[in-house]
Amino acid sequence: MAAERFQIRVSDELLADLEYRLKAVRWPVPIEGSGWENGTDSVYLQSLIAYWRDHFDWRAQEAKLNRFAHYRSNIDGTNIHFIHERGKGPNPLPIVLTHGWPDSFFRYHKIIPMLTDPASYGGNAEDSFDVIVPSLPGFGFSGYPERAGINNSHIAALWAKLMTEELGYGAFAAAGGDIGSGVTRYLADSRPELLVGIHLTDIGIIRSLLNPGAGTELTADERQYQQNARDWIAREGAYMSIQSTKPRTLAYGLSDSPAGLAGWLIEKFHAWSDCNGDLRKSFSEDELLTNIMIYWVTNTIGSATQIYHENSSSLPPLGRIEVPTGLALFPADILLPPKEWAQRNLNITRWTEMPRGGHFTAWEAPGPLAEDIRAFFSPLRQGAQQ
């Protein structure tokens, strides 16, 4: 099915229902002085919910989102929503940007114009991109197929068809973080002939380094990563355990309560960003709530968390990736990978350690990330044929 233009338009009835729910929140008994130690801070969350209820203007944010060119297309039985913004340059390079969880396509809202129109942001027009930002299946305005097994590998196959069969690109670039990093690597592993290069902002949790058999042959940095990863999973990994094993049980509460949904998502923005304990240093309330609204108005928190279950139970192993790979690491991100491991498993041709930023890279530090993406792909552009 050919892609059709799409505009976000949430019904007045859904917004009225949300208003009712925000006015009728039943809060848990507070634990004095706990702050963020036991989860999302109650003082902050109550303030955010009050702002959501009394001041947040979804229609204004909806209008901003609709400034982008949105499309939807059915690919292998799955309705995929995506933004497709054309580059302003002599020969734009197509690039597909893949988001993760708990963010959405909104992760890239700041960086899209920096890539399509670099000349307006201090760059060179010859480094422009056609930017494609899909919503993962089950996220936002994408659909979710009835069958199980939609993991990173399956999504990579969908993206290959989106870029070649739907949009007609012969070769293209790919980039992503969080789940988007995994999808991008599976795309490079399965369809290397389509890619001029891939750009990543993380490698996720490196499970092979946590296997019981991994040990004596590891470098000192890899052994330190083992310890850091085990400590992090024990301290911060509860969300991952439940979303990998019982996502449906979680979905009932989060689909019914906007305050519950906000509490579940906001904790990760606090813990994973470079906000130094103060979310307002990295994100405005409007930005955080727009992302939460994308989950709420589409009722996709259940299908979005399902991907953790699918990835933990059905992902095939990855081989060494030979496609040229750029890696930009942000200091406040989760579990920065050991360089030796990355070089053994990916064809690293650019390694950048950023001065600031956390897990939500394109959102927190869009300028430095856009510059790194442009610099990495600049010498690779001749490999793309549109």
pLDDT digits (tens, 9 = 90+) for 147-158: 778 999 999 999
Q: Give the model's pLDDT for residue 91.
A: 93
Residue 1 confidence class, pLDDT cut points 50, 70, 90: low
Considering the domain boundaries, does residue 32 fall inside one?
Answer: no
191-211 mean pLDDT: 94
* Alpha carbons 319 and 316: distance in angstroms, whole number: 10
* Alpha carbons 296 and 92: distance in angstroms, whole number: 35
Considering 117, 199, 308, 372, which one is annotated as catalytic?
A: 308
Per-residue pLDDT for 31 more than 90? no
290-304 mean pLDDT: 97
Considering the domain boundaries, does residue 70 fall inside one?
Answer: yes
Q: What is the pTM of this model?
A: 0.96
* Alpha carbons 210 and 293: distance in angstroms, whole number: 36
Considering the domain boundaries, does residue 117 fall inside one?
Answer: yes
Considering the domain boundaries, does residue 211 fall inside one?
Answer: yes
* Alpha carbons 296 and 140: distance in angstroms, whole number: 9
* Alpha carbons 269 and 246: distance in angstroms, whole number: 22
Other C-beta atoms lying within 10 Å of the C-beta of residue 156: 21
Domain that holds residue 138: 4-24+37-383
363-370 mean pLDDT: 96
| pLDDT mean across residues, the chain | 95
- Weakest mean pLDDT among 98-107, 134-143, 219-228, 322-331: 219-228
pLDDT in tens, 41-96: 999 999 999 999 999 999 999 999 999 999 999 999 999 999 999 999 999 999 99
Is 359 labeled as catalytic in the residue annotation? yes
Q: How far is CA 266 from each of CA 41, 103, 271, 373, rounded to the nearest angstrom?
A: 10, 10, 9, 28
Q: Give the model's pLDDT for residue 386.
A: 45
CATH of residue 47's domain is 3.40.50.1820
Q: Give the model's pLDDT for residue 314.
A: 86
Q: Give the model's pLDDT for residue 57.
A: 98
Considering the domain boundaries, does residue 195 fall inside one?
Answer: yes
Considering 41, 81, 359, 372, which one is annotated as catalytic?
A: 359
Is 308 labeled as catalytic in the residue annotation? yes
Residue 363 confidence class, pLDDT cut points 50, 70, 90: very high
196-213 mean pLDDT: 91
Q: Give the model's pLDDT for residue 291.
A: 98
Considering the domain boundaries, does residue 30 fall inside one?
Answer: no
Considering the domain boundaries, does residue 115 fall inside one?
Answer: yes
pLDDT in tens, 238-292: 999 999 999 999 999 999 999 999 999 999 999 999 999 999 999 999 999 999 9
Backbone angles phi, psi at 15, to 5 degrees: -70, -35
Per-residue pLDDT for 353 more than 80? yes
Q: Give the model's pLDDT for residue 33.
A: 74
204-223 mean pLDDT: 84
Considering the domain boundaries, does residue 283 fall inside one?
Answer: yes
Q: How far is CA 298 from each of CA 15, 168, 238, rounded to the nearest angstrom?
A: 12, 29, 25
Is 81 labeled as catalytic in the residue annotation? no
Per-residue pLDDT for 145 more than 80? no
- Amino acid residing at 327: L
* Alpha carbons 35 and 104: distance in angstroms, whole number: 27
Q: How many domains does the chain have?
A: 1
Q: Give the model's pLDDT for residue 144.
A: 86
User: Among residues of the chain, what percentage have pLDDT more than 70?
Assistant: 98
CA atoms within 13 A on the CB side of 280: 4
Q: Give the model's pLDDT for residue 384.
A: 67
Considering 178, 202, 274, 372, which one is annotated as catalytic?
A: 178
Per-residue pLDDT for 376 more than 90? yes
Q: Give the model's pLDDT for residue 342.
A: 97
